[in-house]
Chains A and B, each alone.
Chain A
């Protein structure tokens, strides 16, 4: 009976390890390159879902225990800039009436923040360092309308605007005596969605 319980607990233990391994957050979106810097004039409103951007937060770290005892540590913010990412055409409509009419549409897809780092790192630490939740997604938006002239098709394009912060980071590994065994230095970026920019054209 005891052997059975021991085996059960050992299986549970192995599952737990697997669970931690899969949950361990190696990086943000591995396939996403760093956003380009583009000219996005701002109107000055701090309308920033998921938190308010903070000035450099200094060194922030969280200690983890798998694989091996290690500490994820944020370095400094190395650059801040804005970028726009195009989603292309998101809606279109033809007006077959004799006069101008309106095309109604809404944001079809979720918006979200994001991040990436070139070493194994943690989203929690990045969120703390850049001052906003890098895993945030969702929004509350209005219905939008576009005027369409008679016998024309109106096309709607959408660009998402982001604040981007780049940063230095490090993951420090320890042995069981608390001595440093390895230091991985790297860098990364985090982007914070802050507004949509719709444009339209007629054909």
Chain B
């Protein structure tokens, strides 16, 4: 009888301790990957608000983001076998010189991709691009890609400023950082960063820092003396949208002259926390197709 009671006590203790362990353990909670309403199989191009400023002598690239949705094994898509990509602009068609795909994350029925189109040499001027035509195996598809402005300037970039480290990509439209070194014999004043997003001209005044760690700010009107290198931080205003590509124009003065320089391209697009967010994004595109 005594033994039975001891057995019962030990049994209760084991159950109790196992229950307690459930409340004290360090759960590694993974994001939800539950199945959600599946969108139709196909390719979904993300609509961007973008601005590309380049010289006619410069090679330009046009990055597009898309999500390929497949059912079961990866689909044989029109883009993977595409023969030609043409940007449809208000100045006529722009047939791209070449292209390449870069895969991002993938899920059980989708693949996130970046399609990079190499632009041909363009004449100076302004081009508004809203859509992309893909021709493959005798089939033509047209995709809306948002609002893109390409501004081509004549000639070659001036050699007044050497470009060092600069922003390449960020998860949101936060800032453009660039290291600039004065390669002239005169002081340079960096005035602003210019771009046009959603047909809205935007001019941003910089904050100046001693280096790329941006912990030591300098006076807002600090001049870049010959041979000096500072970091310039341009904080964007709040704009509608989540996907942006910006190749901005820097405006600076040297002596009495005001000049401009096209800076390297930066992409601003969010990372997504889980399958649900990816498919929500696809659904938001398909609902406005």
Interface residues in chain A, defined as those with a beta carbon under 8 Å from any beta carbon in chain B: 2, 5-6, 9-10, 12-13, 16-17, 19-20, 23-25, 38-45, 47, 49-50, 62, 64-66, 99-100, 102, 104-107, 111, 122-124, 133, 135-147, 156-157, 161, 194-201
> Given A6-B7, A135-B28, 19 more contacts at CB 8 Å?
A19-B21, A20-B21, A25-B24, A39-B215, A41-B175, A44-B172, A64-B20, A102-B100, A104-B116, A106-B103, A122-B26, A140-B272, A157-B165, A197-B167, A197-B171, A198-B169, A199-B166, A200-B165, A200-B264
Smallest beta-carbon distance B251→chain A, Å:
20
Question: Within B146-180, which residues are at the interface with A (CB < 8 Å)?
Answer: 164-175, 177, 179
Majority-rule SS of A interface residues: mixed
- Asked whether, in the complex, the Cβ of B273 is within 8 Å of the Cβ of A139, the reply is yes
- Asked whether, in the complex, the Cβ of B29 is within 8 Å of the Cβ of A13, the reply is no
Q: Which residues of A contact B173 (CB under 8 A)?
A: 43, 45
10 nearest CB pairs, A to B:
A195-B171, A143-B102, A49-B273, A23-B25, A100-B59, A104-B102, A140-B272, A43-B172, A25-B26, A142-B104
Q: How far is the CA of A104 from the CA of B101 in the complex (A)?
A: 9
- Asked whether, in the complex, the Cβ of A141 is within 8 Å of the Cβ of B14, the reply is no
- Asked whether, in the complex, the Cβ of B264 is within 8 Å of the Cβ of A147, the reply is yes
16 example contacts (A-B, Cβ-Cβ < 8 A) are as follows A9-B7, A23-B21, A38-B215, A43-B173, A66-B24, A102-B61, A102-B116, A138-B30, A139-B272, A140-B104, A140-B275, A140-B277, A143-B102, A144-B168, A199-B165, A201-B164
Encoded as 1 (CB less than 8 Å from any A CB) or 0, chain B from 246 to 287 comes to 000000000000000000110111111111011000000000
- Asked whether, in the complex, the Cβ of A199 is within 8 Å of the Cβ of B14, the reply is no
Residue of B with least CB distance to A37: B215
B235 at the interface (CB under 8 A from A): yes
Q: Which residues of A contact B113 (CB under 8 A)?
A: 142-143
Q: How far is the CA of A147 from the CA of B95 in the complex (A)?
A: 20
- Asked whether, in the complex, the Cβ of B17 is within 8 Å of the Cβ of A13, the reply is yes
- For chain B, the count of residues having a C-beta within 8 Å of the partner chain is 73
Q: How far is the CA of A184 from the CA of B173 in the complex (A)?
A: 43
Majority-rule SS of B interface residues: mixed
Residue of B with least CB distance to A42: B174
Q: How far is the CA of A50 from the CA of B247 in the complex (A)?
A: 32
Q: Which residues of B contact A44 (CB under 8 A)?
A: 172, 238
Q: How far is the CA of A200 from the CA of B18 in the complex (A)?
A: 52
Residue of A with least CB distance to B241: A45
Question: Within B75-129, which residues are at the interface with A (CB < 8 Å)?
Answer: 100-105, 107, 112-114, 116, 118
Residue of A with least CB distance to B276: A140
- Asked whether, in the complex, the Cβ of B238 is within 8 Å of the Cβ of A139, the reply is no
Residue of B with least CB distance to A105: B102
B36 at the interface (CB under 8 A from A): no
Q: Which residues of B contact A43 (CB under 8 A)?
A: 172-174, 236, 238, 268
Residue of A with least CB distance to B179: A201
Q: Return the contact of B6 from the options A6, A45, A124, A136 (Cβ within 8 A).
A: A6
Q: Return the contact of B14 from the options A16, A24, A100 (Cβ within 8 A).
A: A16
- Asked whether, in the complex, the Cβ of B7 is within 8 Å of the Cβ of A2, the reply is yes
Q: Considering residues A104, A122, A199, which has the most beta carbons from chain B within 10 angstroms of its beta carbon?
A: A199
- Asked whether, in the complex, the Cβ of A196 is within 8 Å of the Cβ of B18, the reply is no
- Asked whether, in the complex, the Cβ of B166 is within 8 Å of the Cβ of A135, the reply is no
Q: How far is the CA of A23 from the CA of B264 in the complex (A)?
A: 49
Q: Which residues of A contact B13 (CB under 8 A)?
A: 13
- Asked whether, in the complex, the Cβ of B61 is within 8 Å of the Cβ of A147, the reply is yes
Q: How far is the CA of A106 from the CA of B114 in the complex (A)?
A: 11
Q: Which residues of B contact A124 (CB under 8 A)?
A: 23, 27
Q: Return the contact of B269 from the options A40, A50, A142 (Cβ within 8 A).
A: A142
Q: Which residues of A contact B236 (CB under 8 A)?
A: 43
Q: Return the contact of A196 from the options B30, B112, B166, B271 (Cβ within 8 A).
A: B271
Q: How far is the CA of A182 from the CA of B66 in the complex (A)?
A: 57
Residue of B with least CB distance to A19: B21
Q: How far is the CA of A141 from the CA of B177 in the complex (A)?
A: 22
Smallest beta-carbon distance A94→chain B, Å:
17
Q: Which residues of A contact B213 (CB under 8 A)?
A: 38
